[in-house]
Each structure stands twice: as structure tokens, then as C-alpha cells.
Amino acid sequence: MLLYSDEYFMNEAFKEARMAMSEDEIPIGAVIVFNNRIIARAHNMTEKLNDVTAHAEMLAITSAASAMGGKYLRDCTLYVSLEPCPMCAGALAWSQISKIVYAAPDDKRGYHLFGENLLHPKTIVECGIMKETSIEMMQEFFRKKR
């Protein structure tokens, strides 16, 4: 079986982030992978849905649980363009997801600022993959907003 790389999946998360940007949403995208296959993809929709809970990760978790036919996401990996906030980290903890890979840290609302223990103790975290692309996307978005 051809195994896709972390970069491949992160790039798919970036595609979602770009969709958010084209809809005038803060450009954050996520995919959830099980067995080398994307089972959920989502982007930030807080403005469109008028709902602070509609972060890319939250929508992806709901969608992945539906695809898995169970609410736990053990053996799944989340790829997300920005570090999850405490709300999303809390949801990821409940899901017992195996692994989280995020591109850029969020120095304002990233969960690490509030405590590493927000995640499930068994969840593995990797960060920094394609970080620059994510940062550039965010900068582009906020530059346009000014």
C-alpha cells in the first residue's frame, strides 16, 4: 500500500484552509485520517454558521465520528493548519484521538498556553510541519482585513 506522507495530508488541510479564506473566514483547515485515508475534512465556518463552535477541528471531529460509526477516534490522526484552541483540544481529548499534527503554533489562543494536559494523555502531538505556509496564509488574511 502506498503510504501518504504527513506533508501530503497537511497539504490537504491547507486546501481546506484556502477554502475558508475564499469565504472570508480565518483560514484554518483540518483533515482526519484513518488507515492512510482521509475520513473527514473541514474548514473554519464560524462566520458563515454564525457559531463560535464551528472551528475546523470541531466540524472534522463530528464528521469523522460519523464516518467511523462511533464517537471515539482512536487510531485516527488530525492534521490541522494551526494549533488547536482549548475548546478544540478539549473535544480532541473526549475523542481519544491517537495523534495530532499541526503546522503553526498559535501564540494567542493555542491550547499549550492553557496547559498540555487539555489533551488525552495517550494522544501524540507533532508540530511545525509546513509551518511557514500556514503562517503566510494567516498573514495574508489579516493583511487583507486591515
Nearer to a second copy, 10 or 26 (CB): 26
- Collapse the DSSP code of 104 into the 3-class scheme (helix H, G, I; strand E, B; otherwise coil) and give the result: strand
Count of C-beta atoms within a 10 Å radius of residue 39: 18
CB 39 within 8 A of CB 33: yes
Question: Does the annotation count 57 as an active-site position?
Answer: yes
Nearer to a second copy, 31 or 65 (CB): 65
Residue 8 binds to a second copy (criterion: CB under 8 A): no
Output the smallest distance, CB 102 to a second copy, in A.
Answer: 16
CA Rg, the chain, in Å? 14
What gap in Å lies between CA 133 and CA 7, rounded to an integer? 11
Q: Which residues bind a second copy (CB under 8 A)?
A: 46-47, 50-53, 58, 61-62, 65-66, 69-72, 85-91, 93-95, 114-115, 117-118
Q: Catalytic site residues?
A: 57
